[in-house]
C-alpha cells in the first residue's frame, strides 16, 4: 500500500505540464497521416522542390503544398528559396530520428 502512495506521488512530479503534452500530441497527430510520412521520407536524404516531391509521392503539387504547409507549421520541414523555386528539407536530425525509431518500433 505504501508503495502505491509513493508511485502516486512520484508520477505527477515527473509528468510534463498539460501544455507540453498537448504540443506533443499535436506533433504525433502530424505523423498520423501517411501522405505526410511519404513526404518526410522523400526528404530524408535530400532537399526537393514541390514538383519533385509530387512526382516522388505520386500526388498533385497542390496536395503536396498543402501537406508541406502542415509540416512547416509543425517545424518538421524547412525551406529555402532559390529564384522562383522553393526547396524543402527535413528541419533537423530529430525528424530523421523520429522516423527511424518509428520504423524500428513497427518492424519488431
Alpha-carbon dihedral sign for residues 52, 53, 59, 62: negative
Give the domain extent around 74.
2-107
- Report CA-CA distances (Å) from 26 to 19, 31, 56, 71, 99: 11, 9, 26, 11, 16
- Interatomic CA distance for residues 105 and 13, integer angstroms: 28
Q: Any idea which residue has 500500500 for its cell?
A: 1
pTM: 0.85
Question: CATH number of the domain that 51 lies in?
Answer: 1.10.10.10
Domain count, the chain: 1
Asked whether 35 and 57 are in contact (CB, 8 A), the reply is: yes
pLDDT digit string, tens, across residues 51-74: 999 999 999 999 999 999 999 999
Residue 27: all three cell numbers together: 506533433
Percent of the chain having pLDDT more than 70?
Answer: 90
Percent of the chain having pLDDT more than 90?
Answer: 85
Amino acid at each position: 500500500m505504501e508503495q502505491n502512495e509513493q508511485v502516486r506521488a512520484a508520477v505527477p512530479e515527473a509528468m510534463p505540464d498539460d501544455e507540453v503534452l498537448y504540443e506533443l500530441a499535436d506533433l504525433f497527430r502530424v505523423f498520423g497521416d501517411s501522405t505526410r510520412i511519404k513526404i518526410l521520407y522523400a526528404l530524408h536524404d535530400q532537399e526537393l522542390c514541390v514538383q519533385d516531391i509530387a512526382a516522388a509521392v505520386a500526388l498533385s503539387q497542390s496536395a503536396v503544398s498543402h501537406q508541406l504547409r502542415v509540416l512547416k507549421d509543425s517545424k518538421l520541414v524547412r525551406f529555402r528559396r532559390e529564384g522562383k523555386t522553393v526547396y524543402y528539407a527535413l528541419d533537423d536530425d530529430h525528424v530523421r530520428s523520429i522516423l527511424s525509431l518509428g520504423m524500428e518500433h513497427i518492424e519488431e
